[in-house]
Structure 1
Amino acid sequence: MSEPTVKCLVWDLDDTLWRGVLLEDDTVTPFERVREVITTLDSRGILQSIASKNDHDHAWPRLEVLGLAEYFVLPHIGWGPKSASVRAIAEQLKFAHSTIVFVDDNPVERAEVAHHLPEVRCYDAVDVPGLVGLPEFSPAIVTVDSRQRRQMYRAGFAREASRADFTGPDDDFLRTLGLEMVIGRASEQELSRVEELTLRTSQMNATGVHYGDATLRGLLTDPGHEVLVVAMSDRFGPHGAVGIVLLERHAHVWHLKLLATSCRVVSLGAGSTLLNWLSDQAAAAGVHVVADFRRTDRNRIMEIAYRFAGFSESDCGCVHELVASGVEGVERLHLTPLRHPAPSTLQLSAPDLASVTLSS
């Protein structure tokens, strides 16, 4: 079984990122190829952080002088156990431990992290030059959004800090963000991001089914299918492409084959906004909605979103129009759609699917 693709590499500093110990030498410089590894992984959308036993007020300025500080999110530079630092980084990023990698020259530190966080992969510092060539550090798809992932996460942290300072209900805070959601038909240039969402999104993925580039390209030219990409932005910056809706339209029923949204926008109401919009469009078109759902060990939150939107096991009697999913464990949830008002916490721009008719 192949290793999960790495989402975040956590660096030690002394004798790992740079040669020597900072407290003994203020002029430490990075090892050969370290800068190349950092910039290459950043361009692939792999986040990077730090877990180092050091004086933060001493180490961070050195990283700034070296021109490397900008590449790290959520750095933990202090004197606590490195396993605690790695755990905190994973929790703040909302990443599974199996997608985190820790690199350190000290075998004792690697053992300490491995003992407390057995799913985190640990590498010796001597392995650093070869990391970019390993399959787990080579995402199958690299998109425009991948290349700005670090900036989007930093904007997210600023957004969270603003929320912490805000007193009042969540909806009132969301209204201060100037949120915009754009739902649009996918272009060929966007297919790589659509495919990436089916690969990387697990908690807010209704089926966990991966749709490859060839399949998606075929659906783009099929008049019976809608391949929709969801993008969001606010006053802190773009969230990028954060969702995908794969819909097959029949005369009396719309078949929601896949709904997936990034975990980063769950708290912004992205999932409920999408489902309410789809229900409104289906009600206007006078059709029933059937959604594929397959339980996984991580997508319980998506099931809750479907149930909250009104999906249930009640059969509408129109399933005969749909072909079998062909995927083991897929069940079909049914929705009698209702009209919904425009969302109150964001500005929504979306196509009018209800105006597209199909013959019986």
Structure 2
Amino acid sequence: MQNPDEICMQRMEWEKAVFSPMPRKNALLQLQPPWPLKKTRINVRRNHGFEVLKDPLRVFLNYAGIEPVVACGAYDDSLSFQDNLPSADIEILWLDLDKYTMNSADLLFWLKTRLADLRKQTTAPLLFVSWPGTGPSAGSFDGLPGLCFCDFKSAMKGYNGKILDPRLEAVTGTRLAAPTQLLLARALGLVWIPAASALPVKAVVFDLDNTLYGGVLGESGIEGVESDSAYQSLQRHAAKLRKRGLFLGLSSKNDSRDVKAFFETRKDLAIKLEDFSAQEISWQPKSTGIAKIASALRVGIDSILFVDDNPAELLEVSNVYPDIRTLLARSPAETLFALELFPGLFRWKTTAEDIGRIRDLEAVSKRTGTTAGTDYLATLGTEVEFYLNPSSQLTRISELLNKTNQFNLTLLRLNEAEVSKHMKSGTFFVTAGLRDRLSDSGIISLVMAHIDGVDVIVDNVCISCRALGRGLEDYLIRQSLAGIKKHSGLENPQEILHFVEGPRNAPAKAWYDKTKSREPESASNSFLPVKSTWHIP
């Protein structure tokens, strides 16, 4: 593998091809990734040709850090799923729905029955790809765990050419026009597949000069920098990312007083200074500022996207933090286009916890100054709601298992369909929602366990970083385990915990080590001035 500087430089070169408004296949196929890739097995269940997409799809997935291993089933209008494809990490339903003559209602009913049958065979995410017509739409498959409806129109954004070219079907097996093939390969490779399989971006850190506005504030002055309609569109998009639950950060080499005056004075901005949850405005190296931002936001460096117009700044940060994701800001329109496609920014679902994440962080500083000890829990009116086997929380449970890194006891990762399968097979899931008078943090913890003979085997414990530091960890875990034991049907079950060490789960290890050193009686007597409620199905 090449050094971080070379990798960062090559990623900047790749951006010209992968984020081109109309990608060129020849340019894409010349790209070879020097960075490490995660092998991902992809099955394609289809009734029309997919092979023509495989090469460009590989390039787009490589940019996202994925090495695809694609297996295509036979053409099968009946969707019998009897072609003995190997087990996969992702299942793609690649369908030309014009091949079916039934009416819309009958087609949707039939598709649901076939997809339900496929769901019984695999717990991998199912990506449904077709084009607008008489077929289903977003929301048609609600209730089927792990089914992801791919929005064809979003993949075609900005393209005004023809979607279909029936002349190609005899050669390629599909009626999709050549540009449509490339645009769908890009949507699959940069947006849809990474959203179902890769580490999400949790924070986007922006530079200011020639990134969120045109010009250099320190040279042109408050009124001299440019914030035209193109920059305003970029600013609005950044604000939308915040509303979807992503943190925004600022890392700018400027005088902080000038930046504050700029945001206060200019009325043509589509974003406010307070929209940035962490700000490092100084003359220090940007790698230093990025580290402070990550700490303030409680996210890993590898879940940050850093956007800057200066290649030297991207290189400096990448050299210190090779795992950070970077994007070279070019024109505001180009930067906006790249942000709409950048791997890890898209979410299949936005949960209440996503939306409340920003507000919850803002409440942290207020809690810090509250009464010392555990008395502050009573002062703030802390309330916890426990949920036993909440089938309506499959998405959030999967998020906790996959996104939690610091307090994750065993690092067990399950997708939404796998959670549903475990819940139906008798595994206990207890989640906890947390709120006080400063904020509603939503569902912040999970205890997962199953019964083995007379023992309760704890499969995993996850606590969101937004709940850490309040002295609630032991309370949440012990109360959850008490609920599981009560409903286990066992006379006097014993709990069995184990720990799997990872690169970032030191808080979980500290709790586990502390628990092992205590007597069982004292470990179970976790009392705090907290109002609690249980929801039992």
Range of TM-score over shorter length? 0.7 to 0.9
Measured at CA, do residues 92 and 206 of structure 1 come closer, stay the same or move farther in structure 2, by a change above 3 Å? same
TM-score (norm 2): 0.55
**Residues of 2 paired with 1:57 and 1:144: CA distance?**
35
Instruction: Please say which structure displays the higher CA radius of gyration.
Output: 2
What is the aligned counterpart of 2:458 among 253, 256, 260? 256
Deviation at 1:95, TM superposition (A): 2.0
Identify which of 219, 222, 228 aligns with 1:26.
222
Question: Measured at CA, do residues 306 and 196 of structure 1 come closer, stay the same or move farther in structure 2, by a change above 3 Å?
Answer: same
> What aligned pairs does 1:42-81 form with structure 2 within 5 A after superposition?
42-63=242-263, 65=267, 66-69=269-272, 70-81=274-285
Cα displacement string for residues 280-327 of structure 1 (whole angstroms, at most 9, x for unaligned residues): 557765111123432222223213312323489xxxxxxxxxxxxxxx
2:213 is the counterpart of 1:6? no
For residues 180-222 of structure 1, give each alpha carbon's deviation from its aligned partner in whole angstroms, at most 9, with x where no partner exists. 1111125343211111111110111112121111122233434
Aligned pair partner of 1:128 in 327, 332, 335 = 335
Q: Which residue pairs with 2:421 in the alignment?
A: 218
Corresponding residue for residue 534 of structure 2: 350
Q: Residues 41 and 132 of structure 1 are in contact (CA less than 8 Å); yes or no, is this contact kept in structure 2?
A: no
Q: Structure 1 residue 50: deviation in Å?
A: 0.4
Offset of residue 58 of structure 1: 3.4
Whether contact under 8 Å (2:308, 2:329) holds in the other structure is yes
* Matches of 2:212 and 2:295, distance apart in 1: 23
Aligned partners of 1:102, 1:229: CA distance in 2, in Å? 33
Bigger mean CA offset, 237-246 vs 283-292: 283-292
Provide the rounded CA distance (Å) in 2 between the counterparts of 1:145 and 1:339. Answer: 30
Distance 1:109 1:172, change over 3 A: same
| Residue pair 1:280, 1:337 contacting (<8 A) in 2 also | no
Contact 2:383 2:434 in 1 (8 A): yes
SS in 2 for 1:348: strand
- The structure, 1 or 2, with the larger RCO (C-alpha pairs under 8 Å, 6+ apart) is 1
Secondary structure of 1:135 counterpart: coil
Segments of 5+ residues of structure 2 without an aligned counterpart are 1-36, 38-64, 66-197
> Alpha carbons of 1:351 and 1:292: their partners in 2 closer, same or farther (altered >3 Å)?
farther
The amino acid that maps onto 1:286 is: N
C-alpha spacing 1:194/1:282, structure 2 compared with 1 (3 Å): closer
Letter in 2 for 1:76: E
Cα deviation, 1:209-250, whole Å, max 9, x if unaligned, reads 21111122233434x332221111112111111111112235
AA of the residue aligned to 1:171: T
SS of 1:255's equivalent in the other structure is: strand
With over 3 angstroms needed to count, the CA separation of the structure-2 counterparts of 1:188 and 1:71, relative to structure 1, is farther
Q: Describe the SS at the equivalent of 1:41.
A: helix
Which letter does structure 1 place at the counterpart of 2:260? W
Alignment match, 2:239 = 39
How much has 1:40 moved relative to structure 2?
Answer: 3.7
Q: Distance in 2 between matches of 1:336 and 1:283?
A: 15
1:12: how far off? Answer: 0.8
Please tell me the residue identity of whatever aligns with 1:180: E
Question: Residues of 2 paired with 1:86 and 1:59: CA distance?
Answer: 18
1:294 equivalent in alignment to 2:500: yes
Q: Equivalent residue of 1:37, what SS? A: helix
TM-score scaled by structure 1?
A: 0.79
CA distance, structure 2, for counterparts of residue 283 and residue 244 of structure 1 = 15
Q: CA deviation at 1:81?
A: 2.9
What are the superposed Cα offsets for residues 239-287 of structure 1, whole Å, 9 maximum, x if unpaired? Answer: 1111111122356221221211112212112321123325555776511
CA–CA distance in structure 2, aligned partners of residues 237 and 32 of structure 1: 30
Equivalence map 1:305-344=2 (5 Å): 305-310=511-516, 340-341=524-525, 343-344=527-528
Residue 100 of structure 1 pairs with residue 296 of structure 2: no
Distance 2:503 2:318 in 1: 23
Of 291, 300, 303 in structure 2, the residue corresponding to residue 87 of structure 1 is: 291
Q: 1:157 to 1:181 in 2, by over 3 A?
A: same
Offset at 1:17? 0.5
Equivalent positions of 1:161-240 (< 5 A) are 162-163=369-370, 168=372, 170-222=373-425, 224-240=426-442
The separation in 1 between residues aligned to 2:459 and 2:251, in whole angstroms, is 41
How far residue 156 of structure 1 moved from its aligned partner, in angstroms, is: 2.1
C-alpha separation between the residues in 1 aligned to 2:270 and 2:240?
A: 15
Equivalent position of 2:85 in the other structure: none
Counterpart CA distance in 2 for 1:247 and 1:311 is: 22
136-145 or 264-273, larger mean C-alpha shift: 136-145
Contact 2:256-2:282 within 8 A present in 1 as well: yes
The residue number in structure 2 matching 1:148 is 356
1:227–1:247 CA contact under 8 A, matched in 2? yes
5+ residue gaps, structure 1: 313-334, 354-360
Aligned residue for 2:477? 275
**Partner Cα distance (2:458, 2:237) in 1:** 41
Instruction: State the alpha-carbon separation in 2 of the partners of residues 157 and 128 from structure 1.
Output: 33
Checking the alignment, whether the CA contact within 8 Å between 2:400 and 2:446 is kept in structure 1 is yes
1:356 — aligned with what? none
Cα distance in 2 for residues equivalent to 1:109 and 1:135? 21
The percentage of counterpart residues that share the same residue type is 24
- C-alpha distance in 2, partners of 1:215/1:311? 34
CA pair 186-152 structure 1, distance change in 2 beyond 3 A: farther
Question: Residue 138 of structure 1 aligns to a residue in which SS?
Answer: coil
SS across alignment from 1:95: coil
**3-state DSSP class of the match of 1:259?**
strand
State the one-letter code of the partner of 2:256. Answer: H
CA drift at 1:175: 3.6
Match of 2:72 in 1: none
The Cα RMSD (Å) is 2.9
